[in-house]
Amino acid sequence: MAVKGADLESELIDTVCERVRERIPAEQVAPCEAFVRQYYQWVPAEDLADRNPLDLYGAAVAQYNLAQQRKPGEAKVRVYNPDFEQHGWQSPHTLIEIVSDDMPFIVDSVTMQLGRLGYDIDLVIHPVMRIRRDADGHMIEVLDPDAHADDAVRESILHAEVAREHDREKLDQLHNSIERVLADVRAAVEDWQEMRSRCQALIDEFDRQPPPVDPALVDETKAFLAWLAEDNFTFLGYREYDLIDEVDAAKLQPIEGSGLGILRGVATKAPKTLTGKALAVGREPQTLLLTKANSA
C-alpha cells in the first residue's frame, strides 16, 4: 500500500521545495512548488529515503519543464539518461517522462509496453494534476487536489525508471514505441462511446433483419452484445469487413472508413485470406464468432 510521502518524508520534500524557491524564477515558484509537492505526494516513502535531494529536485523540475507548454490533446514524451554535467542532476536509470491528458489505461499500457520491450521497471510515479493553461498551452497554475476551476484540465504526469539503456538507437525506438502506445490509448478512449453505439446498432440490425439461423441463437447473441455494451467489456478497436468469396478461398476485405479506436484509419495489411477450416467456418451462417488474433 502506498504511503503518503508528504507524511513520512516531509522534511525531504520541504528540502526539495526550498531548492525550488532558491533556483526557480520568482514568477514560476508557486506553480513549480505545487507541482513538486503533488509529484511526490503518493510515492512510497522507502522509494525516496535513499535519494539525493538534488536528484529529487532535478527529476521533478525536469518533468515540470516538460509540462510547461502543451497543446490540448498532445502527449509529450521524453526518454533520456540524466547526466550531471548536462542536466545538473543524475540518475543510474533511463527515464521515461510523459505529460498528457488524463485517460484510462495510460499506466497499464505504458508499463506493459516496457515489459514487452524487455525493460524491468524500477519506479513509477503517476500523479494526476489539475492544471490551468493559457490559449497557447503555457502553464498558468497547478491547482490544489481539492480545488476546482472550469478551465483546468486533469493531466497525467507519468515518470518511469528502467535499467539504464546506453544504445541511442534503442532509446529512440523506446521513445517511438511509447508515443505509439499513447496514440492507441487516445484513439480507444476517444472512440469508446462510438464503439459501444456500434454494438447496439448490431442488436438493432438483428431485430430488423434476423439472420437465417435458430431464433434462440439470435436472442442469445443479442443478450451477449447488450451485456458487452453495459460496461462489461473494454472496446479497443472496431472495423468492418466484407467477405469476398472465391472458389477455393475467401478474403476478409476491410471496409474503408469503418475503423474506430486502435483500428482507425486505413488498414495497412493485405486482406486476410481464408482457406481450409477457416473458410468453412466463414461460409457458415452464424450470428457471432469469438476468436483471438494478433493482428488486424
Q: What is the pLDDT of residues 92-135, one digit of tens each?
A: 999 999 999 999 999 999 999 999 999 999 999 999 999 999 99
Percent pLDDT > 90 in the chain is: 71
Q: How confident is the model at residue 289 (pLDDT cuts 50, 70, 90)?
A: confident
The confidence score (pLDDT) of residue 281 equals: 75
Neighbour-count burial of 61, counting CB atoms closer than 10 A to its CB (0-12 exposed, 13-18 middle, 19+ buried): buried
Which pairs with CB-CB distance under 8 Å and at least 24 residues apart come from 203-206? 203/229, 206/287
Confidence of residue 296 (pLDDT cuts 50, 70, 90): low
Q: Flag whether pLDDT at 1 surpasses 70.
A: no
Mean pLDDT of 41-67: 91
Question: Which residues make Cβ contacts (< 8 Å) with residue 168, sequence separation at least 6?
Answer: none
Q: Is the pLDDT of residue 89 over 90?
A: yes
Query: Which of the pair, 202 or 281, is modelled with greater confidence?
Result: 202
Long-range contacts of 273-276 (CB under 8 A, 24+ apart): 273/249, 274/249, 274/250, 275/248, 275/249
One-letter identity of residue 208: R
C-beta of residue 160 within 8 angstroms of C-beta of residue 43: no
pLDDT band at 83 (very low <50, low <70, confident <90, very high): very high
Q: What is the mean pLDDT of the chain?
A: 90
Full-model pTM: 0.86
The residue among 116, 114, 111 whose CA lies nearest residue 294 is 116
